[in-house]
């Protein structure tokens, strides 16, 4: 009977362990601001995934300051000091109301080729950047799309 009680206790403990929340959530969008469509060919703008104020390169002409340029910001939570791998799509597509498409490629996260790790407070965060490619053939407007990212705790 003692053994049965011990096993039941162990089982409950294991279930409790499984209930440890593992989560990742996007708290800020990857925003390329307002860009001028090129008169011919293509232009591009690359947002690096390093910080709140990312490095921006490219030959696309940026307009105004009302639409900020930001790297995407994710918050993760799990157990304390847990390593995790980040998987990003190779590219994503943004569309406008005319169903015209813009591609974002070179998606990268702020850990580069390394893994993230949660803090002793069981949280962590990272940034995601990418490169937008604008063709002269598209119709202007507001473009939007989704980036599905996967994290796997190691």
Q: Which residues bind other proteins (CB under 8 A)?
A: 1, 3-4, 7-8, 10-11, 14-15, 17-18, 22-26, 29-37, 39, 63, 67, 72, 74, 76, 92, 94, 96, 102, 104, 128, 130, 132, 134, 138-154
Least spacing, CB of residue 3 vs other proteins, in Å: 6
Could you tell me if 118 and 151 are in contact, meaning their C-beta atoms sit under 8 angstroms apart? no
- Cα–Cα distance between 153 and 98 in angstroms, integer? 40
Residue-wise burial string across 68-91, b where 16 or more C-beta atoms lie within 10 A, e elsewhere:
ebbbbbbebbbeeebebebebeee
- Tokens coding 141: 């407007």
Nearest Cα residue to 105 out of 87, 93, 96, 115: 93
Residue number, 10 or 51, with CB nearest to other proteins: 10
For the CB of residue 96, give the shortest distance to other proteins in the complex, in Å: 8
Least distance to other proteins from the beta carbon of 51, Å? 17
Q: How far is the CB of 95 from other proteins (least distance, A)?
A: 11
Question: Residue 114 or residue 154: which is nearer to other proteins going by CB?
Answer: 154
Closer by beta carbon to other proteins, 11 or else 80: 11
Q: Among 96, 80, 77, which residue's Cα sits nearest to residue 144?
A: 96
């Amino acid at each position: 009977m003692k053994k049965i009680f011990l096993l039941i206790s162990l089982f409950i403990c294991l279930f409790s362990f499984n209930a440890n929340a593992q989560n990742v959530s996007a708290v800020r969008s990857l925003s390329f601001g307002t860009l001028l469509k090129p008169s011919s060919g293509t232009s591009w703008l690359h947002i690096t995934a390093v910080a709140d104020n990312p490095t921006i390169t490219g030959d696309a002409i940026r307009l105004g300051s009302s639409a900020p340029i930001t790297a995407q910001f994710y918050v993760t939570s799990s157990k304390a000091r847990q390593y995790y791998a980040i998987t990003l799509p190779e590219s994503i597509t943004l569309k406008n109301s005319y169903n015209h498409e813009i591609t974002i490629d070179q998606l990268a996260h702020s850990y580069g080729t390394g893994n993230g790790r949660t803090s002793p407070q069981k949280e962590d965060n990272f940034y995601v950047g990418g490169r937008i490619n604008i063709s002269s053939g598209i119709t202007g407007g507001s473009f939007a799309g989704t980036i599905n990212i996967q994290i796997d705790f190691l």
